Amino acid sequence: MRRLHMGRPPVVLQHLAEGLHPTSGKESTGMLWHAIAPVRRYTKASHDVVRHPRLCSDAKILLLYVQGLPEDQTHLALSEHGQKLGIKGRAFQRAKEQLVVNGFVHEHKAPGAAGCGLPISSSPMCR
């Protein structure tokens, strides 16, 4: 509040904050109170992944990409998803190694099996 004198009796002016929703009748702090995520083509990213100091950007992108896949596309090998993202060769090997070392991907190889399974998690899994 401030007072204006200018030769007249003091007048008290009160400033109401105009926020994102000025018609709601409530004062706003200027922060977004709610946000609705898109229904399709949207992936929530865990802070554990985004801010992880030992994961390169390729590893983070690969992990978030695979977590956001629909169920019918999860049967593909991790390397195929990496190729779709343009992560190939040594860059893919380094990204996968970082995900395995930091516990985001666990590789299970069955003896005599042609392939292996890769459970993937947004937070490190127990060993």
For residue 107, which of 120, 95, 115, 117 has the smallest C-alpha distance? 117
Say if 40 falls within a structural domain: no
Model confidence over 89-104: pLDDT tens digits? 999 999 999 999 999 9
Say if 81 falls within a structural domain: yes
Mean pLDDT of the chain: 75
Say if 21 falls within a structural domain: no
Say if 60 falls within a structural domain: yes
Model confidence over 1-44: pLDDT tens digits? 455 555 665 555 554 544 444 455 555 555 555 667 667 777 78
Q: 94 is in which domain, residue-wise?
A: 47-117
Residue 76: C-alpha distances to residues 23, 36, 115 (Å): 50, 31, 11
Question: Considering all CA atoms of the chain, what is the largest pairwise distance in Å, rounded to the nearest integer?
Answer: 96
**Beta bridge mates, 116:** 109
Q: What is the pTM of this model?
A: 0.59
Say if 14 falls within a structural domain: no
Say if 27 falls within a structural domain: no
Cβ(110)–Cβ(87) below 8 Å: no
Distance from C-alpha of 37 to C-alpha of 69, rounded to nearest angstrom: 16
- The number of distinct structural domains making up the chain is 1
The pLDDT confidence band at residue 72, using thresholds 50, 70 and 90, is confident
